[in-house]
Amino acid sequence: MSNTHPDMLALITTLKMAGLTTVILMLIGTPLAWYLAKMQSRSKVFIEALVALPLVLPPTVLGFYLLLLFSPQYLPGQIWQQATGQQLAFSFSAIVIGSVLYSLPFVVQPLQKAFEQLGDDLLEAAAMLGASAFDRFFTVVMPMTKASFITAASLGFAHTVGEFGVVLMIGGNIPGETRVLSIALFDHVEAFDYAQAHLISISLVISSLVLLSLIYLLNRPAKNKRVKSKRFN
């Protein structure tokens, strides 16, 4: 690992960060989106606003508060240190936690929209046939909202790859741990190493374009998007 090219190492770190962040976001985001889609109370608006906050806040603001929270002065940082023996600030865990918060709306919003558009009738029918809540979710909801799941995961991943401000604040630029592509790019530009900077930039532009094109391709309104009803006879 030590003789890997620094930029390759940064790419690997970036993919690890974005991959793990996406997995965590799907696990947290799915129940949260479901809860928000089905929620009737007045506090829904407030929670929705909280989820959407990373869309409008400068990432540096998020990073600044997280750095404080992750430092041993504050409770979250202390608890983490006691539980793991490691310091949270300037660690791989820190940039993953930061990314989860930062990319949350990109996962929750498409899922919530999909769940809201789902009619109740199929779910009711499944319930009448004795399917449990979990069963209903995995056999009825998920197949019907598959495209939204793929969209949510891809957007969460892509957005995390492009992250800069949060990682800048809580990462500390440690090779192999918190030095991701966007940080490596910044270093190259500041050090006048434009050849390397161009290489990273153009790779990011192309790969992001490809990924986003795939997402939009997937979301094109299909010609016959009716759910095939199973016959029970």
Q: Contact between 164 and another protein (CB under 8 A)?
A: no
CB 38, CB 123: distance < 8 Å: no
Q: Contact between 80 and another protein (CB under 8 A)?
A: no
Instruction: Report CA Rg, the chain.
Output: 21
Q: Give the angle subtended at the CA of 38 by the CAs of 117 and 122, to the nearest 5°.
A: 50
Segment near another protein (CB under 8 A); pick from 96-104, 137-145, 183-191, 201-209: 183-191
Q: Contact between 161 and another protein (CB under 8 A)?
A: no
Q: What type of residue sits at position 46?
A: F
CB 200, CB 7: distance < 8 Å: yes
Q: Locate all alpha helices (DSSP H) within the chain, ordered by sequence.
A: 6-38, 44-56, 59-70, 75-84, 92-117, 120-128, 133-136, 142-144, 146-161, 165-170, 181-190, 194-218
Q: Contact between 147 and another protein (CB under 8 A)?
A: no
Of 101 and 169, which CB lies nearer to another protein in the complex structure? 169
Per CB under 8 A, the list member of 7, 28, 71, 211 interacting with another protein is 71
Of 7 and 187, which CB lies nearer to another protein in the complex structure? 187
Per CB under 8 A, the list member of 16, 35, 162, 173 interacting with another protein is 173
Of 19 and 175, which CB lies nearer to another protein in the complex structure? 175
Q: Contact between 79 and another protein (CB under 8 A)?
A: no
CB of 81 to another protein, least distance (A): 11
Q: Contact between 110 and another protein (CB under 8 A)?
A: no
Q: Contact between 31 and another protein (CB under 8 A)?
A: no
Give, rounded to a whole angstrom, the gap between the first and last alpha carbons of the chain.
60
The half-sphere exposure of 79 on its side-chain side, counting CA atoms within 13 A, is 4
What is the token pair recorded at 143? 């197949």
CB of 13 to another protein, least distance (A): 14
Per CB under 8 A, the list member of 34, 35, 90, 92 interacting with another protein is 90
**Helix, coil or strand: residue 141:** helix
What whole-number distance in Å separates Cα of residue 21 and Cα of residue 121? 34
CB of 186 to another protein, least distance (A): 7
Report the interface residues with another protein, using CB under 8 A: 67-68, 70-73, 77, 87, 89-90, 168, 172-174, 186-187, 189-191
